[in-house]
Amino acid sequence: MRLRNVKNKEEILNNSNFLVKDYLDYKGSWNNYFKNDNPIYIEIGMGKGKFIIENAIKYPDINFIGIEKYDSVLAKSLPKIPDNLTNLAIIRMDALNIDNVFSKEISRIYLNFSDPWPKDRHHLRRLTSKVFLEKYDSIFKDIAEIYQRTDNQQLFIYSLESLSSFGYKLSDISFDLHSSASDDLITTEYEDKFSSKGMPIYSLVARK
């Protein structure tokens, strides 16, 4: 993926009140960061932020944390966040480190349009591979709950198999989400782009 540089990128990141620089200090105590005991939902690979920002606005009694590793992408998303949001935090990190940041405190993970890593030799880099599912086990508070959307059929089929073999029960499986989705469905930027071209969106909910 080729990322365009963003003017004043460092200034945007340094001055944002939503970007948590000392995120390692909150492992196991993110309720202290938010100053409440509301459920915590995270989106791994939040992109330009449309999905998680709209969710935080719509559901004020849920705490949301967006994870993104690319500075240029964050520089585009951070200015979009309304100043008065108190239930949203952003972390700049690689998802491989997720078990160093959270411990038994996450209620839901969103995986929206993740990198499919199409080559077989790269399958363990996929966010629904055994490598990541083992990490997720250590961060879920109680019931493990994963929501996935993708435009990539190969990744979707892989995820169905991987999640099932790891003990997850699958529901709300759709091979064309937008053919039956409600009008108030919160979407991502990628999702809007793909669906506008008539491309199917695959989705599932996994719990254990």
**Residues known to be catalytic:** 115
Locate the DSSP E strands across 93-143.
Answer: 108-112
Task: Return the closest-CA partner of residue 63 out of 102, 14, 93, 16.
Answer: 102
Are the CB atoms for 152 and 206 separated by under 8 Å? no
Torsional class of 198: left (φ above 0), alpha (ψ -120 to 50), beta (otherwise)? left
Q: Are 140 and 106 in contact (CB under 8 A)?
A: yes
The tokens 């996929």 sit on which residue? 126
C-alpha dihedral, 51 to 55 to 15 to 33, nearest 10°: -130
Phi/psi of residue 71, each to 5°?
Answer: -60, -45
| CA dihedral of residues 161, 164, 168, 174 (deg, nearest 10) | 50
Determine phi and psi for 99, rounding to 5 degrees. -75, -5
Q: How far is CA 174 from CA 72, 115, 171, in A?
A: 32, 19, 9
